[in-house]
Structure 1
Amino acid sequence: MRTTLLLVYCCVSLFYFPRVYTASVISEVRLTGGNGPWEGTVEVYVDGSWGSICDRDFDLSDARVICRMLGYKREIQIWTGAAWGQGTGKSLFTSLSCSGNERSIGSCGYYTSNCYHSQDVGISCVRTNRPETTEGIRLIGGTGPYEGTIEININGVWGTICDKQFDINDAMVICRMAGYTRAIQAFSYAYFGHGNGTSMLTNLHCSGSEDHLDSCGSDGWYASSCNHDHDAGVACLSNDRKNITQGVKLVGGNGPYEGTVELNVNGQWGTICGKTDFDINDADVICRMAGYHRALQFYTFAHFGKGNGSIVLSNPQCSGKEDIIDDCGSNGWYYSGTCTHYYDAGVVCQRNFTGKFTTEDASGVAPPYDT
């Protein structure tokens, strides 16, 4: 029994009390295999030879210290799995534990590595001779280039925006940068799917009038602790459209004057959530858009059957005087909350057809609303 305990103590001691490399012993650090000296596989010079660092438990605080050792402002991104190629020599450290304030990784905690070079970690640093500005923007994962998860290019590296405090004012600036006139809706929780790279920006504070993100307040570039489950997204008004809704039709009824309401938003058909607040005033506006004088009745709970597409509008709040539902308040375009097609709104319009409501599109042509 005593022999067993001694063996266990010996093994635990070997694992938890590795050789310590001090800051003076770690004389150099370099990044190899990248597009420049600011990025690549991390290698450190110890006892006369170069070695690598294992990606196990490696985080942004560790990367920040290495970038500082190299003379760069700070880290942009971590690369695992020898993304920039395998390093040379031995894998020296694993579970590096820096606070981010150290001047050298020799002042950080770590264990002696038993990793393979296939686990070599790499990093990208912010280049000191370049300002931290947004050099590009794109929207991915949507049904067209006007919507999707937001990706921004900072100093040549693509990343995402955290949805924390992200709202329609921020979305307005994003859409303007992407070449569109305005935003329809801001999205959270990776609505259009996960983006690429790292989360670069959080707590964005735009008034909505700015032409560029760099003019908005935030917690700072690279300060985000979000993961990609919180990637922000936007839907912008397509440039070939003047209004958000380009069509309305009533489906499932006994004629074109009644049925489940379907709206065409940015070229995609979808329904209205009638779970709460949908009333005769909202129905009046829908009927007017469809070319009828007024509404006789409104329905919720998919009275005429479930509609098609996604839920494109939730709980409109019309006074009944509006000519188009774009002018009504609502919980937001595309926003459905806990809604499903079970709550699709429907209307019955007065049959005296007055002619379809028309609105000028961006080209000046007046297209009819669909029925």
Structure 2
Amino acid sequence: MALGRHLSLQGLCVLLLGTMVGGQVLELRLKDGAHRCEGRVEVKHQGEWGTVDDMDWTLKDASVVCRQLGCGAAIGFPGGAYFGPGLGPIWLLYTSCDGTESTVSDCRHSNIKDYRNDSYLHDWDAGVVCSGFVRLAGGDEPCSGQVEVYSGEAWIPVSDGNFTLPTAQVICAELGCGKAVSVQGHELFRESSARVWAEEFRCEGEEPELSVCLRVPCPGGTCHHSGAAQVVCSGEMQVRPFTSVNTLLR
């Protein structure tokens, strides 16, 4: 491990902070998680995927990753190669996001190069756990409740207008909650003043996640409904414990 991991971090920040590479947005992905919205953070440079070191990795950095991938809010930022060590280059040694950026390319970050050449190892690959695009909230069980989707800033309830069982099937599968048992409407919104999502989801039932289903804008931006869409799934959500790795000491 290079001596610079702890030593001269302030100087490293000054020397290596950069911006977008050639004006291009860095392509991102999360690998080896339970679904596409969690895993080891990888970036693509010159056609090759590489990892990000977890030096000073924070929830703000993770929030930008989740936003760029359309994966909702960041709920964890495990380091120490929590999702397993990557292969190939370590492209980024350092990122510094405010948490409001649209992409990681908008954050200050180290120059892109293969930091393995400086004796850094994949033992410190950064990870992210995002909430995903959809959740079930306020139910009696983790796998039941009001359908809410993430706008990039807040969770917005989905109306029960034209909400179908195939759409519920996609949601239950995406959340690791088994199959849809029932779809309920005519239910009060969890918050009386809440906005309502201005699209209807028209899933066929086989889509891998809700975000790729056909969406139909509601006329005038207002969906006709009698209440919030509620879904009950057959399974219990399995939550991966990751809190402790967020506080790993180097």
TM-score for both structures, normalised by structure 1? 0.32
Higher relative contact order (CA 8 A, sep 6+): 2
Larger Rg belongs to: 1
